[in-house]
Amino acid sequence: MNRERKPTHPGEILYEDVIKAVGITVTEAAKRLGVTRKALSLLLNCKVSLSPGMAIRIGKATNTTPESWLFMQAKLDLWYANRQLPVVKSFENSVPAL
């Protein structure tokens, strides 16, 4: 995993590559997704993580897969977790031979 570059939040991609590109408002996008404007705004402003339910909604609305959206979120989550991970010891020298 490349620790240098922070992965892009899926909300940023949704806003820049979909909502702006289509030329609709956040309010209209929220209506089309069947969510509140506040819920969508929190995602677009990277204040919340993408949920599986939202990934399904976005996938259906954009004719993409929910997995592709969740993969973006997973990459970001792993990037954050990797930066906070404590020092751990390897199992290599302590696991008995099988």
Instruction: Tell me, yes or no, whether 42 lies in a domain.
Output: yes
Residue 46, C-beta contacts closer than 8 angstroms, at least 6 positions apart: 9, 11, 12
- The pLDDT tens digits for 12-53 are 999 999 999 999 999 999 999 999 999 999 999 999 999 999
Instruction: Tell me, yes or no, whether 44 lies in a domain.
Output: yes
Instruction: Tell me, yes or no, whether 70 lies in a domain.
Output: yes
Count of structural domains within the chain: 1
User: CATH number for the domain including 19?
Assistant: 1.10.260.40
pLDDT at 85: 79
Alpha carbon distance 19, 55 (integer Å): 15
Instruction: Tell me, yes or no, whether 89 lies in a domain.
Output: no
Instruction: Tell me, yes or no, whether 5 lies in a domain.
Output: no
Instruction: Tell me, yes or no, whether 93 lies in a domain.
Output: no
Range of the domain at 76: 10-82
Residue 2 pLDDT > 60? no
Instruction: Tell me, yes or no, whether 3 lies in a domain.
Output: no
Dihedral (CA of 36, 37, 40, 41) sign: negative
Q: What is the DSSP letter of 91?
A: S
Q: How far is CA 93 from CA 21, 88, 89, 96, 97, in A?
A: 53, 13, 9, 8, 10
Provide the 3-class DSSP secondary structure of residue 12.
helix
Instruction: Tell me, yes or no, whether 19 lies in a domain.
Output: yes
